[in-house]
Amino acid sequence: MIHRIAIGSDGLIDYGSRGEVPGRLLNQFSMDEHGERFRVATTSEFWTPYGGSVLHNNVYVLDKEMEIVGELEQIAPGESIYSARFMGDRLYLVTFERIDPFFVIDLSEDDPKVLGELKLPGYSNYLHPYDEDHIIGIGKETKESQYGGIEILGVKLALFDVSDVQNPKVVDIFEIGGSGTDSEVLYDHKALLFDSSKNILSIPVSINPDYAEPRYTDDGQYIQPKVWRGFYVFGVDPEEGFTLKGQVEHFHDTNDYYYIYGVQGSRSFYIDNVLYTVTLNNLIKMNDLENLDEINQLKIGTTGEIIRYPTPLVEGEGTTSAPAQP
């Protein structure tokens, strides 16, 4: 159910109209308003009387009255949407079951139509535009297991070239870690830093190198594996793909019995030519944006108390001297 609500310049709220489309939404990127049209991508699933399920994906175009004026249904039967990105007159859609179909869908008219399709292993949880002809996908690599199923591997970055809409292609793929590797970008796009003018792409990463080899104590207790947490920083070129500039380490566990799941609340940003990375293990790091040389770091602490720093700021370092502050 989609509701259209108008908010006037005087602050008054007016209920406009509502409409319905079959299926469920993945996230905010499954919806888009463009001119006089509202576009939405959904996954439909229902059970048959014989105990099986039917799964497929759809794209609908609605007018201002929330009436369906165009539709494209039953895309990739048996699969569900893993990521979607509307860009002007195009929709880029990734579905997945055993392999990742990457669809380019035309929305220049009310009736959507598939322009091109590309199939490759793995899937993209998030799609981010590089420019009009290139899309960055961030997700997971996969492979077929020895039992015929699908094994989830490391975090995968893929750069797609969509300049030829009928024949999209992969420019480059970069895989980080193996099974158990995670990135917050897979479920929170705000964890991604990307700026083509600065030629920087930064994502938080949690790597579990011993994930595939379980270890146990002498009395049979499972030993949680060691974990590396930090940021992978790349340069991105539309012709060459990804170049790993380096890694900014925030945490490297050396205790066999200590483990942290995921990288939550992590962010990276830049001010001038300094890259700042922040994680919830209460660490802020400053690195040179070009070569990633460490400039400084600040451990905030985990106590919830005010931390007093005894050393005052001094003259000659970009500020005047001042008494110690919390």
The dihedral through the CA atoms of 69, 75, 77, 79 has a sign that is negative
Give the separation between CA 156 and CA 83, rounded to whole angstroms: 14
Residue 105 has pLDDT above 80, yes or no: yes
3-state secondary structure of 29: helix
What is the tens place of the pLDDT at every residue in 114-143? 999 999 999 999 999 999 999 999 999 998
Residue 262 has pLDDT above 50, yes or no: no
Output the pLDDT for position 62.
Answer: 97
Comparing 3-12, 186-195, 279-288, which segment has the lowest mean pLDDT? 279-288
The residue with tokens 């590797």 is 181
Residue 143 has which token pair? 């492979």
Give the separation between CA 326 and CA 308, rounded to whole angstroms: 5
Looking at every residue in the chain, the average pLDDT score rounds to 87
Residue 116 parent element (H or E): strand 113-120
* Strand-pair partners of 35: none
Output the pLDDT for position 310.
Answer: 66
Burial (CB count <10 Å: 0-12, 13-18, 19+), residue 158: buried
Output the pLDDT for position 258.
Answer: 42
- Cβ-based neighbour number of residue 153 at 10 Å: 20
The residue with tokens 């400039």 is 295
Q: Are 69 and 62 in contact (CB under 8 A)?
A: yes
Q: Locate the domains of the chain by residue range.
A: 177-326
When comparing pLDDT for 297 and 303, which is higher? 297
